[in-house]
Amino acid sequence: MGGLQKKKYESGSATNYISRNKARKKLSLSLADFRRLCILKGIYPHEPKHKKKVNKGSTAPRTFYLLKDIRFLLHEPIVGKFREYKIFVRKLRKAYGKAEWSGVQRMKENKPAYKLDHIIKERYPTFIDAVRDVDDALSMCFLFSTFARTGKCHVQTIQLCRRLGVEWMNYIITSRSLRKVFLSIKGIYYQAEVLGQTITWIIPYQFAHDHPTDVDYRVMATFTELYTTLLGFVNFRLYQTLNLVYPPKLDGQGEFSLKSECEEDYALESESYSEKLAALSASLARTVPSVEDEEAELDHFPAEGEDLEKMETREKMELEQNKQKKLFEGLKFFLNREVPRESLAFVIRCFGGEVSWDKSLCIGSTYDETDETITHHIVDRPTIDKQYINRYYIQPQWVYDCVNGKILLPVEEYFLGVTLPPHLSPFVEESEGDYVPPEKLKLLALQKGEKPQAEEDEEEEEEEEDDEDDEEEDDQSEDEDEAEDEASLAEMEEKRAQGKSLSVKVTPGKVKPENRMRTEQEEKAEEKRLAIMMMKKREKYLYDKIMFGKKRHVREVSLLRNSSILYAFF
């Protein structure tokens, strides 16, 4: 055969990947710049399928990028900006060294800046893509907005993050798209459905941060730079879809009340305005005056069979959702000063409730504590001195549990000083064979509309029945075991007797009751065991792994179940 002999590593996967250092050299960037570029452009290393081939026979640990990705970076205008910035820094240093202060001033004014708009457009070609990826952006922005205004990053960034976060929350309130809330030990998780995309974000509890030393804030700042740009554009578009004014403005009433109220408290009007927005208590101004009850009704299409079923379930879901959206409508809440104001105000407003707080706590309170129409007063302390008769005094968990349960739960379990029922994660969806905590079962029953008291009894009964069943089964098996044991014991004794007296005895035989089902099952089990013996090595390995996972799951579930039963008794 003619032709040149193919050399190794000159085609195939070895040429599709490039190591990080080579990529850096190709782009002629410093490592820090390369990293920043990767963050901004969303370039990440790939794990090749055959690492050794790609690594040209070496097994050294290396990270690989796709060559195409790196080529794609070559044409990025931001790389030029990076270089410009580098030169700017050099010039500035020189000017400082020569003490040319006017030059320094001029250079500082002409500091090169870059915009990330085109990168956002490129990374998220459609709006839905951007919305889908907004999770991390939100979490990061909310984290940065809780930072102190000193040290770790620019004040402007913190302010921008705060502004974007408030804009986002205002959008969620107006569109009523919050679905789930979860109070975890890390922070508060929120889940919203925006344009059909499920978005989850976490907000830390309002405390000063203990800044760790082993965290690179530059990396986080670069991410935040990208995320704020993304979030800004997403917010703009979302506000547009709801015909809201962007940047957000309070509608007429709110503005008026603001002006009348607290002009003397805040030095700057702009500051008080943003604070008022952040209070989340007033609705936003719209470009087009809103029309009430503009809910689009689903069109009905003639459908058959499965489609019909699907349609029905969809309609049902829609109804449920609409109901959930109006969960707190008509309720008036008052927040005591020790509860997390922002979170509660956000959640209550998301579901149509009215909320207010003490005037001295925060700007934007709409009514006083003495208001007679208040239905729920949220308190997080064991007792309260002055209580009004016509309202419930409840602990904040009630609000969150109601949201997750999609119904107004009975308030008795959440009164002041009462031990709270467990707060369950709304994100857990139990499949078959998983452990379901008893509280969840109770909630499910409540959702179905059964009365809690009766349900409890039933449940207990059911459980008991189950237990009994189990016990019965156990008993059966035990009985059988015992029977066998007894039989063997008798045999043994007989033998012993034979040994002693050497007299042969014939005893009437007993008919052993044969459990047909059982023998059949045993047979099947043995067949399976024997077949497993004949498995190939690879398949056996896979099979063992799967079975190991299954068994572990079952074990965990049973452990949880046992301990829950234990706790129920003591």
Partner 1 sequence: HSSKRSLTKIYAYGHDQDQRKFWLALILTSVTLQDIRNTVGNIPMEWYKDYPHIGYDLDGKKIFKPIRNKDELDEFLDKMENPDYWRTVQDKMTGADIRLSDEQVDLVHRLQEGKFGDVNFNEYEPAIDFFSNEVMIHPVTNRPQDKRSFIPSLIEKEKVGKLVHAIKMGWIKPRRPKETTPQYYDLWAKEDPNSILGRHKMHVPAPKLKLPGHEESYNPPPEYLMSEEERLAWEQQDPEDRKLSFLPQKFACLRAVPAYSRFIHERFERCLDLYLCPRQRKMRVNVNPEDLIPKLPKPKDLQPFPTTQSLVYRGHSSLVRSISTSPSGQWLVSGSDDCTVRFWEVSTARCLKTVEVGGAVKGVAWNPNPSICLVAISYDDTVVLLNPGLGDRLVSTATDQLISSYEEPEEVKEQPVQWTVAEGEGHEQGHRLILKHPKAVRQVTWHGKGDYLACVMPDNGSSLQVVIHQVSKRRTQNPFRKNKGLVQCVSFHPIRPYFFVATQRYVRVYNLIKQELTKKLMANCKWISSMATHPGGDNVICGSYDCRLAWFDLDLSTKPYKVLRHHKKALRSVAYHRHYPLFASGSDDGSVIVCHGMVYNDLLQNPLIVPVKVLKGHTITHDLGVLDVTFHPTQPWVFSSGADGTVRLFT
Partners of residue 378 on adjacent β-strands: 335, 394
Considering the rule CB under 8 A, would residue 140 count as an interface residue with partner 1?
yes
CA 111 – CA 105 distance, rounded (Å) = 10
Pick between residue 214 and residue 293 the one whose CB is nearest to partner 1. 214
Cβ at position 303, least distance to partner 1 in Å: 27
Q: Choose one: 79-87, 138-146, 353-361, 367-375; the region binding partner 1 (CB under 8 A).
A: 138-146
**Residue 189: what are its φ and ψ, rounded to 5°?**
-90, 140
For residues 289 to 328, the per-residue mask of contacts with partner 1, x marking binding by CB under 8 A and - elsewhere, is ----------------------------------------
Cβ atoms 382, 417 nearer than 8 A = yes
Residue among 85, 88, 114, 233 that touches partner 1 (CB under 8 A): 233
Cβ atoms 375, 333 nearer than 8 A = yes
Task: Tell which positions 84-113 bind partner 1, by CB under 8 A.
Answer: 109
Q: Give me the DSSP letters along 354-422.
A: EEEE-TTTSTT--S-TT-TT--EEE--SS--SS--TTSEEE-THHHHHHHHHTS---GGGGBTTSPPPP
Q: Choose one: 345-353, 358-366, 491-499, 561-569; the region binding partner 1 (CB under 8 A).
A: 561-569
Query: Strand, helix or coil at 21?
Result: helix
Considering the rule CB under 8 A, would residue 548 count as an interface residue with partner 1?
no
Cβ at position 216, least distance to partner 1 in Å: 7
Query: Strand, helix or coil at 460?
Result: helix
Q: How far is C-alpha 69 from the chain's CA centre?
A: 30
Query: Strand, helix or coil at 462?
Result: helix
Pick between residue 223 and residue 367 the one whose CB is nearest to partner 1. 223
Cβ at position 141, least distance to partner 1 in Å: 11
Cβ at position 219, least distance to partner 1 in Å: 6
Cβ at position 295, least distance to partner 1 in Å: 25
Considering the rule CB under 8 A, would residue 35 count as an interface residue with partner 1?
yes
List C-alpha distances in Å: 540 to 528, 537, 547, 555.
Answer: 13, 5, 10, 22
For residues 487 to 526, the per-residue mask of contacts with partner 1, x marking binding by CB under 8 A and - elsewhere, is ------------------------------------x--x
Peptide bond between residue 247 and the one before it cis (omega within 30 degrees of 0): yes
Task: Tell which positions 420-459 bind partner 1, by CB under 8 A.
Answer: 420, 422-425, 427-428, 437-439
Q: Give me the DSSP letters along 93-119.
A: HHHHHTT-HHHHHHHHHT------HHH
Q: Choose one: 44-52, 277-285, 358-366, 405-413; the region binding partner 1 (CB under 8 A).
A: 44-52
